Amino acid sequence: GLGFTIAVVLALAFIERPSSLTYTSDIRFKPQAWEPPCGLTEGIEIVCLCIFILDVTVKVEIDY
């Protein structure tokens, strides 16, 4: 549920550009980092935002 959504948002920081995450720590070999397709991370963030908004809306409606 909500915990998974938070984990996804935090995990996106490791694949979004610019990222210092690499496959190896060897400074002589610098492989090209994976670059996600345009709009992929933004789409995931929008879905997560909708889940957060839905969660807050449901919690506010329950309080009334």
| pLDDT by position in tens, the chain (length 64) | 899 999 999 998 888 877 666 777 777 877 777 778 889 999 999 999 999 999 999 988 777 6
In the chain, what are the domain boundaries? 2-23+34-63
What is d(CA 13, CA 6) in angstroms, rounded to the nearest whole number? Answer: 12
How much is the pLDDT for 20?
67
R_g (Cα) of the chain, nearest Å? 17
The structure's pTM equals 0.72
Q: Can you tell me whether residue 16 is helix, strand or coil?
A: coil
Q: What is the pLDDT of residues 2-15, one digit of tens each?
A: 999 999 999 988 88
- Asked if 5 contacts 52 with a C-beta cutoff of 8 angstroms, the reply is yes
b/e sequence 6-15, b meaning 16+ C-beta within 10 Å: eeeeeebeee
Identity of the amino acid at 27: I
